[in-house]
Amino acid sequence: MLPTPKKFTICAGAAEGAHELNAFDNALLNAGIGNLNLLRVSSILPPAAEYVEKLEVAPGSLTPTAYGYIVSEEPGELIAASVGIGFSEDSFGVIMEFSGECSAKEAEAAVREMVEEAFKTRNMKLAKVMIKAVEHRVETCGCAFASVALWY
């Protein structure tokens, strides 16, 4: 079993690329998380995890990450990705991700609603919400990416 992460950083970025995977990779680089090996995880923020604004992880590190992204090859299309974290007063948090053909504002609203529902379903009191979103107007092949990186 991996150790429980003690820190978290919220990242978001958007970019173009010659191919879908390049657009995704460039969005990761724009978000400041492109030189890591992301291990996609589900939606729980460990209790007492500390928010750190800047990710301080060595290149190539295996990094548990909850993320959402969208790639589009439709010129002119507006795409967005968002992550939200709901915090309880004395327990774990819940992370939600969203991506779609919409604005950052719409992505933020969607992820906030998802966080609220997750807390309601768990019968937990929501104390605070942190949200980060990014939008991108596609030129040829674009990607919007948002994540919560969990680290040690």
Q: What CATH number has the domain bearing residue 53?
A: 3.50.20.10
Q: Which residues are catalytic?
A: 37, 42-43, 97
Instruction: Check pLDDT > 90 for residue 119.
Output: yes
Q: What are the DSSP calls for the chain, one per residue? A: -PPPP-EEEEEEEEEE-SSHHHHHHHHHHHHT-TTSEEEE--SEEPTTPEE-SS----TT-EEEEEEEEEEE--TT-EEEEEEEEEE-SSS-EEEEEEEESS-HHHHHHHHHHHHHHHHHHTT----EEEEEEEEEE-SSSEEEEEEEEEE-
Tokens 């605070």 — which residue? 128
Q: What integer pLDDT is reported at residue 37 of this predicted model?
A: 97
Domain presence at residue 20: yes
Its domain, for residue 92, covers 7-151
The stretch 38-64 carries a mean pLDDT of 96
Average pLDDT, the chain: 97
Number of domains in the chain: 1
Predicted confidence at residue 26, as pLDDT, reads 98
Q: In this predicted model, what pLDDT tens digit does every residue of 11-25 receive, in sequence order? A: 999 999 999 999 999
Asked whether residue 2 is assigned to any structural domain, the reply reads no
**Whether the predicted pLDDT of 1 surpasses 90:** no
| Cα gap 95→84, rounded to integer Å | 6
64-97 per-position pLDDT tens digit: 999 999 999 999 999 999 999 999 999 999 999 9
Has residue 1 been placed in a domain? no
Q: Is pLDDT above 90 for 130?
A: yes
Examine residue 44 and state whether it is found in any structural domain, yes or no. Answer: yes
Across 135-148, average pLDDT: 98
What's the pLDDT score for residue 82? 98
Average pLDDT on 22-33 reads 98
